[in-house]
Amino acid sequence: MTSPTTRSLEVDFFRGIVLLVIAVDHISGSVLSHFTLHRYAFCDSAEVFVFLGGYASAAAYTALATRRGHPAARRRFFKRSWEIYRAYLLTAVLMLLGGALLMLLQIDSPMLQYTEWPALLGRPFGLTLDVATLRQQPYLSSVLPMYALFALAMPVVAPLAQRKPVVVMFGSLLLWLAAAPLAHALPASYVQAWSFNPFAWQLMFAAGVLARVQPISDTFHASRTARWLTCFAVAFALTFAFAKLFLETQAPPGYMKQNLATLRIVSFAVVAWIVARAVYRGWIGDLARRLPGVVTVGQQGLVCFIAGACVSLVLDSALRVMGVDQLGRTPSHWLAGLAADALAIGALLWLARFWADRKAAKAARAKEAARAGAKPSPRLPVIERRPAPAHAVDRRRER
Out of 47-56, 121-130, 161-170, 196-205, pick the least confident.
121-130
Mean pLDDT along residues 351-362: 95
Confidence of residue 198 (pLDDT cuts 50, 70, 90): very high
Please state, in angstroms and rounded to a whole number, the distance separating the CA atoms of residues 283 and 276. 10
Task: Look over the chain and give the mean of its residue pLDDT values, rounded to a whole number.
Answer: 89
* Residue 380 pLDDT > 80: no
pLDDT on residue 399:
43
Count CA within 13 A, CB hemisphere, residue 137.
22
Confidence of residue 396 (pLDDT cuts 50, 70, 90): very low
Its sign, for the CA torsion 106, 111, 112, 117, is negative
Residue 173, SS3?
A: helix
Confidence of residue 91 (pLDDT cuts 50, 70, 90): very high
pLDDT on residue 339:
94
pLDDT on residue 41:
95
* Residue 10 pLDDT > 80: yes
Confidence of residue 153 (pLDDT cuts 50, 70, 90): very high
pLDDT by residue (tens digit) across 233-246?
Answer: 999 999 999 999 99
Please state, in angstroms and rounded to a whole number, the distance separating the CA atoms of residues 369 and 374. 9
Which has more pLDDT, 372 or 168? 168
Residue 375, SS3?
A: coil
Q: Which of 296, 381, 318 is nearest to 7 (CA)?
A: 296
Which has more pLDDT, 277 or 324? 277
Percent share of the chain, pLDDT over 90: 70
The DSSP secondary-structure symbol of 251 reads P
pLDDT on residue 320:
84
Please state, in angstroms and rounded to a whole number, the distance separating the CA atoms of residues 93 and 192. 20
* Residue 162 pLDDT > 60: yes
Domain ranges of the chain: 9-367
pLDDT by residue (tens digit) across 61-83?
Answer: 999 999 999 999 999 999 999 99
